[in-house]
């Protein structure tokens, strides 16, 4: 007996979020098990307000295009899930005859999936991981992270060469990257060490280490005694000794909340006040939305997990997230998939492994870990040419 299945994209988009949707749609259509394949629009908000779109009418060309389209074609975003919202979701799922629901997102989305699964016991609920922060437990890495990490590596490499070019004018450049509570993305800047082996050491600051202004300034001055310039990479969410973000702001709007950010501008301003020529940069949301540095393995893993979600549902599983075990060894290797209960990942954050951290940077073991997951070097063939230092 055919049933109805629905999928939701939630949270911040990534460069490969739609690839997971494409993989899901391919598998759902080929299974011939569904009467209707639906998508709820704008994430959790769409589930609550009952905003859906039929997806079973998409052709092969449209689904193929989704594999290469950034953003969230269904609309994602953040929306609070309260008791009243759960009641509305339960009603909406029953009204539309939906017995299987897939949510693609991060730890907040998996928390919502756990709540929905508990409130709707007659609905199978499965989660597909998605986050550029790579802060999800239950998976070695999440679709979205590898592409964002590659972008950070490429961006820092370009900024490093730019800084070196004007080192007689600008001594310190501070670059802010995403990472409210964890430093996986900032750590990706360490890839530059392999590409620019003769560039001065890059200092990397992550939320896992408390940030002390006095130590920061002392380290900058010490570095500039030896090298003509310094590139600093800092997570947006670095925290002081009290555990509070050193810089934050309100994003605005009727439901405005304070979020970490503005760290690069703050630190570069403080350095200028100390007489050190400095500039602040922010890689911004391009980290999660660019298309020109997408990691191909990241795209393939997103498609793979989208398809596996259908298989997991048809095997009768529910209230679980699909995770990846270790590095990619083959994109059709189903043994790589592990099922993790929502309760073990919902609302939790996975920090950067302490073994990957040094006092002011990232250990070589992290670079080996990341490159084994990416499966490709930084940059295009033009950028891979031997860098000339004169």
Q: Which domains does the chain have, with CATH numbers?
A: 3-144+294-344 (3.40.50.450), 150-291+352-374 (3.40.50.460)
- The reply to whether 179 sits in an annotated binding site is yes
User: Is residue 145 classed exposed, middle or buried when 0-12, 13-18 and 19+ CB atoms within 10 A define those classes?
Assistant: buried
- The reply to whether 107 sits in an annotated binding site is yes
- Torsional sign, CA 195, 199, 205, 208: positive
- The reply to whether 382 sits in an annotated binding site is no
Catalytic residue list contains 133: yes
- The reply to whether 374 sits in an annotated binding site is no
- pLDDT tens per residue across all 390 residues of the chain: 789 999 999 999 999 999 999 999 999 999 999 999 999 999 999 999 999 999 999 999 999 999 999 999 999 999 999 999 999 999 999 999 999 999 999 999 999 999 999 999 999 999 999 999 999 999 999 999 999 999 999 999 999 999 999 999 999 999 999 999 999 999 999 999 888 888 999 999 999 999 999 999 999 999 999 999 999 999 999 999 999 999 988 877 655 578 889 999 999 999 999 999 999 999 999 999 988 889 999 999 999 999 999 999 999 999 999 999 976 545 556 668 999 999 999 989 999 999 999 877 899 999 999 999 998 887 644 455 567 777
Closest by Cα among 88, 83, 186, 85 to 134: 186
Q: Could you say which of 114, 133, 135, 298 is catalytic?
A: 133
Q: Could you give the CA distance from residue 72 to residue 124 in angstroms, rounded to a whole number?
A: 23
């Amino acid at each position: 007996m055919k049933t109805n299945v629905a999928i939701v994209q939630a949270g911040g988009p990534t460069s490969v979020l739609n690839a997971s949707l494409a993989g899901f749609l391919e598998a759902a259509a080929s299974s011939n098990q569904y009467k209707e394949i639906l998508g709820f629009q704008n994430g959790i908000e769409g589930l609550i307000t009952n905003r859906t779109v039929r997806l079973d009418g998409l052709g092969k060309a449209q689904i193929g295009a989704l594999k290469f389209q950034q953003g969230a074609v269904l609309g994602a975003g953040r929306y609070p899930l309260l008791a009243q919202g759960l009641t509305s979701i339960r009603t909406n799922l029953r009204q539309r005859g939906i017995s299987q629901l897939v949510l693609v997102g991060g730890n907040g989305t998996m928390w919502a999936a756990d709540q929905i699964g508990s409130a709707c016991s007659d609905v199978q609920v499965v989660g597909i991981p998605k986050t550029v922060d790579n802060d999800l437990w239950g998976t070695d890495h999440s679709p979205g992270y590898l592409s964002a990490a590659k972008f950070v590596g490429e961006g820092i490499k370009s900024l490093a060469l730019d800084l070196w070019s004007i080192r007689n004018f600008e001594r310190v450049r501070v670059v802010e990257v995403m990472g409210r509570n964890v430093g996986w993305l900032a750590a990706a800047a360490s890839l530059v060490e392999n590409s620019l082996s003769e560039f001065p050491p890059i200092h990397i600051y992550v939320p896992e280490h408390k940030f002390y202004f006095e130590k920061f300034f002392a380290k900058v001055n010490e570095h500039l005694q030896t090298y003509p310039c310094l590139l600093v990479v800092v997570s947006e969410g670095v925290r002081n000794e009290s555990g509070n973000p050193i810089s934050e702001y309100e994003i605005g709007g009727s439901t405005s909340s304070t979020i970490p950010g503005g760290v690069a501008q703050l630190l570069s301003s403080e350095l200028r006040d100390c007489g050190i020529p400095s500039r602040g940069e922010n890689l911004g949301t391009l980290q999660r939305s660019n298309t020109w540095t997408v990691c191909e393995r990241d795209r393939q893993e997103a498609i793979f997990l989208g398809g596996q979600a259908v298989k997991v549902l048809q095997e009768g599983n529910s209230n679980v997230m699909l995770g990846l075990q270790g590095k990619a060894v083959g994109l059709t290797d189903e043994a790589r998939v592990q099922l993790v209960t929502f309760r073990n990942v919902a609302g939790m954050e996975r920090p950067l492994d302490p073994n990957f951290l040094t006092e002011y940077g990232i250990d070589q073991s992290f670079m080996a870990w990341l490159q084994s997951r990416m499966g490709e070097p930084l940059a295009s063939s033009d950028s891979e040419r031997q860098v000339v230092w004169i």
